[in-house]
Amino acid sequence: MSLLWHFVLIFIVRVATQGGLDSQATDAKEISSSESTELQKGRKVEATETKRKNAKRTFKSEKEFLEFTLKYQQVLTERDSAIVVRDKLESLCRELQRQNKMLMDECKRVSTEGQNLRLDLSTKFQDAIKDVSNRLEEQKEESLTQLKENEMLRKKLKEFADQYAISEQQNAQKLKQKTLELQIADLKIKQHEEKLVQEQSQMKIYAEQVSQLLATEKNLRLQLTADGEKFQQFQEALVKSNEVFETFKQEIDKMAKSIKELKKENTFLKSKCEKSDVMLIELVEEREKLKKQLDKTKNQKEKLESLCRSLQAERKQNTTESNSCDSVPT
């Protein structure tokens, strides 16, 4: 505004100066042209008209100058606003670049941790597979040993049957006592049978859990497809685990069949044991062996169930970490 007033003052001074010069020129003309009054009047009128036209032209130029000054100040104001906006945008761009760099570093760190975790899981899984294979091999050897013992038991029972024909009368009183013991043994057999039924139901539940585990594994594979080659080793380990579980299931079925056969043999032996207390003792020992075997099988099954739960938890944790890494914006 001070600049505007400065130009206004300059305009007033110019008009006043031009008016004074015009007045001096007019006086000089009046003194020098005293010979003709009409000529002086004409010149005076002409000078006045010229002055009016010059003042009008000057006013028009000053008005345009004032408009130009106002537009110039408006342009300066817009330029200052644009500079402020540019500074804000540059500051925002630098902040975004800094945050983007932080996100990239975090993503790299999460990816590295996930790869290390997958390597650890693969190592643990291989160790677990070896442990299960060793236990299955030991169980196979124990089954072969048990078959040999059963064959020896059949031979002994045949010998005892031959001896019993001679000592039948002497053992009549003893058989009455052994009858009570056999009833107790029958109760124990029924208990064992109930336990076998429970074990079979638990085996079915375990098979369903394995099926659920396989379905979960399939879903995990679909979710982990985006990771490509990074998860290839882990998927191969899962395929091997399925084969191990299937093999274990087949072994459990074989064991169940073997238990049924042993149950039939025990029924046959029970009829023979009614004629000999020695045979009864052998049968009791055989039942104890079966009980131990069932306990051992149950322990193995519980360990495998614990292993399955551990593997399922590790898979779930791995899936959660993978999804969190995929959801991080790049």
DSSP 264-308: HHHHHHHHHHTT-HHHHHHHHHHHHHHHHHHHHHHHHHHHHHHHH
Q: How many CA atoms lie within 13 A of 57 on its CB side?
A: 7
Residues 76 and 195 placed together within one structural domain of the fold: no
Rounded to an integer, what distance in angstroms lies between the CA atom of residue 263 and that of residue 186? 12
With respect to residue 205, please indicate whether it lies within any of the assigned structural domains: yes
With respect to residue 110, please indicate whether it lies within any of the assigned structural domains: no
Task: Give whole-number Cα distances, 277 to 61, 173, 274, 327, in Å.
Answer: 142, 11, 7, 74
Q: How many CB atoms lie within 10 A of CB 163?
A: 13
Joined tokens for residue 109: 């760190």
Q: How many domains does the chain have?
A: 2
Joined tokens for residue 319: 């899936």
- The whole model's pTM is what? 0.23
Joined tokens for residue 69: 């000054």
With respect to residue 119, please indicate whether it lies within any of the assigned structural domains: no
Residue 282: partners with Cβ closer than 8 Å, 6 or more residues away: 153, 156, 157, 269, 273
With respect to residue 136, please indicate whether it lies within any of the assigned structural domains: yes
Residue 93: per-residue pLDDT: 81
Domain boundary residue, one of 83, 99, 115? 99
Burial 20-31 (b: 16+ CB within 10 A, else e): eeeeeeeeeeee
Q: How many CB atoms lie within 10 A of CB 148?
A: 9
Residue 59: per-residue pLDDT: 46
Q: Is the dihedral of CA 266, 268, 271, 273 positive or negative?
A: negative
Residue 266: per-residue pLDDT: 62
Can you give the residue range of the structural domain that contains 317?
124-327
Joined tokens for residue 253: 């079925």
* Listed residue (216, 217, 228) closest to 326, CA to CA: 228
* Listed residue (122, 301, 315, 309) closest to 218, CA to CA: 315
Q: Are the C-beta atoms of 196 and 293 separated by less than 8 Å?
A: no
With respect to residue 298, please indicate whether it lies within any of the assigned structural domains: yes
Residues 202 and 58 placed together within one structural domain of the fold: no
Residue 271: per-residue pLDDT: 64
Q: How many CB atoms lie within 10 A of CB 167?
A: 13
Strand runs labelled E in 232-271: none
Residues of the chain with pLDDT below 50 are 1-9, 12-13, 15-35, 59, 329-330
Task: Give whole-number Cα distances, 275 to 57, 163, 182, 289, in Å.
Answer: 150, 10, 11, 22
Residue 33: per-residue pLDDT: 47
Rounded to an integer, what distance in angstroms lies between the CA atom of residue 291 and that of residue 285? 10
Residues 86 and 147 placed together within one structural domain of the fold: no
Residues 95 and 136 placed together within one structural domain of the fold: no
Rounded to an integer, what distance in angstroms lies between the CA atom of residue 126 and that of residue 121? 9
Q: Are the C-beta atoms of 72 and 36 separated by less than 8 Å?
A: no
Residues 315 and 236 placed together within one structural domain of the fold: yes
Residues 197 and 51 placed together within one structural domain of the fold: no
Residues 201 and 320 placed together within one structural domain of the fold: yes
Taking the CA atoms of residue 66, residue 72, residue 77 and residue 80 in that order, the dihedral angle to the nearest 10 degrees is -150
Rounded to an integer, what distance in angstroms lies between the CA atom of residue 142 and that of residue 144? 5
Residues 177 and 52 placed together within one structural domain of the fold: no
Joined tokens for residue 33: 């042209």
